Amino acid sequence: MENRVSAGTPTWPDRLAAEYTAAGYWRGKTFGTLMWEWADDRGDDTAVVDGAVTLSYSDLAVQADALAEKLLGTGLARGDKIVVQLPNCWQFVVLFFACARIGVVPIMTLMPHRDHELVHIARHGGATALATPSTWRGYEHEQLAHRVGEAVPAVRTLLVVREDGAPGTPSDGCLDLTAMCIPAGDADERRKKLDESAVSSRDVVTFLLSGGTTGLPKLIGRTHDDYEYNARRSAEVCGFTAKTVYLATMSASHNFSLACPGLLGTFAVGGTAVLVPTPSPRNAFAAIERERVTVTALAPSVAKHWMDTLAADPGRFDLSSLETLQIGSARLATELAKRVQPIFGCRLQQVYGMAEGLLCYTRLDDPDEVVDATQGRPMSPADEIRVVDSNGNPVPQGEMGLLETRGPYTIRGYYDAREVNAQSFTPDGWFRTGDIVRVHESGNLVVEGRSRDIINRAGEKISAEEVENHLYLLAAVQHAAVIAVPDERTGERICACVVLHPGTGLDLSDVRAIFAEIGVAQYKVPAQLEILDALPLTPARKIDKKTLRERFSEKVKAG
C-alpha cells in the first residue's frame, strides 16, 4: 500500500493499517475533506465562538479555504511545516484547517516557549514558517519571530495575529494572518481548486510536542487517519453531541484541548467550541455563563484554583449549564476528585493520556468511587496495553508496573529520532509510556507515578535533564540534580539541588537571570534551590534522586 505519511515519521505496518481501515477506525478522510462535509451538512450552525467573533461551520470552511490559498501564495506547499505559537483564538482554528486542506503541517508549541525552544523546534522540524501573536501578555512575540527567523534562515514566512484579534499592520517581513483569513473572490471556484490538493489521510496532519524526557521536546507526528479517530472516538466515549458546547480554556495547541475530544471532537459531532485565552476563573466563568458551556477540560491545578474561587464566593457564578468536567494531564488526588460534583454540580470525568496516543477515560456511567479513584480505561477496543516490570515481563494482575501500549492512534516512533525511538519503542511497536500504573479492581488504570525524570508542573511536562543542562551554564554550579517536589498550587514544582564550586555562592535570582538570558520558557525556571555539600549517590553511584525527593518533599510538608 502506498505510504505517504511525511518523511521522518515512523508509521504503522501496512498489515495493521489495512486492519484499522477495515475495522472503521481509520476512515481515509483528511480534516480538509471533513471540514467541507461538516459545512455542507450543518452550514449555519455555530462552530467557534471567540469573544465577539462567531464562526459557523460554513464560515470556518470558507475562511480556511481563503487562508489555504494565501498560504499557497506565500510558497508553502504540501509537506512544509509551520511552527504555530498561538493562544486560543479563532485564527488558530482556521489555520489548523487551512493547513490540513493543503498538507502543510503545523507544529504545535506553547505560549511560554521562547527563543531556546522555538529555535530548536523550527530547526529540528525543518519548518519554513512561523505563526505567532504580535504581543501576548506583555511579551513581544513578533520580535521573537524575527529572532527565530534569523537563527533558522529556512523560516522565511512569518504570520502574525494582533493580540486583540483585529486585522493589523505587522512589521516588515511579517504577514497579517487575520487579514489572510478574509475571503475574497469566488469561494466555490476556490473550493474546487483546493479539492485537487493531493493530501492523503495517511499524511501527518500535525506535530504535537512530547512531554520531554531527554532535554528539548520531541515531535509527535499524528496522521489525519489516526488523529481523526482520536477525536471521533473520544467524542463518542465522552457523550459529545451536536448540543455540546465545549470550552477550550487550557491551550488548544495541547492534545487535551485539541482532540480529547477537545475542539476536533466537538466539530466531529457538530457541537460548538468556545475559546477563552486563559484558564483564569474570571474569563472562564463568564464564558460558561454566557455561552451555556456543557463541558470543559482542565489540569488538576487549574481545577483546584476554580474550586477555591467558587468556594470563596458561593452563588456568584452560574455554572449550571456544566454537565461534565474533564480533569487530566496530571494526577488528580482522590480527595479533590470527590469535591468536583458537590462544588461544580456536574459529573467528573478523569482523563489519562499522552500526546503520543493512548487515551483513557473514566466512563460517564462508572460508579462514583471508580470515577474518583481511577484515571479511566483505554477508549478504543483496539488499544493494547500491558503492565510490565523493568525487564519487560508482565507483573501480576493489580500490581504496579510500567505501562506499554500500541494501537490505531498511538505513534510508532518520534519524528527523526532514531536513538530515542530505540529506547521508547519495542521492536514490535509497543510504546514505553514511562508511566507507572496498576490495574484497579474495576479494570480501570490508576496512575501511580512515572519512571522517567519529568516534572509535571500544572500539566506542563519539564525534563529534569534540560533544566540541569541550563544550570550547568552557571559558573558556580559544580553538580546539579533537578527533582519534582509537591506544590500546593501547581501539583509539582521544580527543585534544583546543586553543589557549588568552593568559594562561590548562588541564589534563585542568579538562576532566574541565566534562564532569562538564554531565553528559556518561564515555566522551566526552578522555584526552589537547595545547596548541598554533595549529592547523595545510589550503590551504582548514580545520583540518588529518590533520597533528594524524600528530603525536600518532607521539607515542603514541614514548612
- List residues near ligand AMP by CB under 6 A: 211, 255, 328-331, 350-355, 375, 433, 435, 447, 450, 461
The minimum distance between CB 447 and ligand AMP, in angstroms, equals 4
C-alpha–C-alpha distance, residues 450 and 137, integer Å: 33
Here the cell at position 162 is 494582533
- Pure H helices in 212-366: 224-237, 255-259, 262-269, 281-291, 300-312, 334-344
- Could you count the other beta carbons within 10 Å of the beta carbon of residue 13? 13
Q: How far is the CB of 553 from ligand AMP (least distance, A)?
A: 17
CB 64 within 8 A of CB 94: yes
Q: How far is the CB of 470 from ligand AMP (least distance, A)?
A: 20
Alpha-carbon distance values, 541 to 348, 483, 514 (Å): 44, 17, 29
Q: Which of 174, 482 has the CB closer to ligand AMP? A: 482
Q: How far is the CB of 460 from ligand AMP (least distance, A)?
A: 8
Nearest approach, Cβ of residue 212 and ligand AMP (Å): 9
Nearer to ligand AMP, 253 or 375 (CB): 375
Residue 48 vs 355, nearer CB to ligand AMP: 355
> What is the grid cell recorded at 47?
462552530
Q: Which is nearer to ligand AMP, 103 or 401 (CB)?
A: 401
Output 255 or 296, the one with its CB closest to ligand AMP.
255
**Smallest gap from residue 390 Cβ to ligand AMP (A):** 17
* Cis peptide bond N-terminal to 261, omega within 30: yes
* 396 secondary structure, DSSP code: P
Decide whether 200 or 421 has the Cβ nearer to ligand AMP: 421
519: left (phi over 0), alpha (psi -120 to 50) or beta: left
The SS3 call for residue 12 is coil
Give dist(CA 211, CA 463) in Å, integer: 8
Closest distance of CB 374 from ligand AMP, Å: 9
Q: Report yes or no: 5 and 11 within 8 Å, Cβ to Cβ.
A: yes
**Residue 166's Cα: distance from chain center in Å?**
26
Residues 467 and 307: beta-carbon distance below 8 Å = no
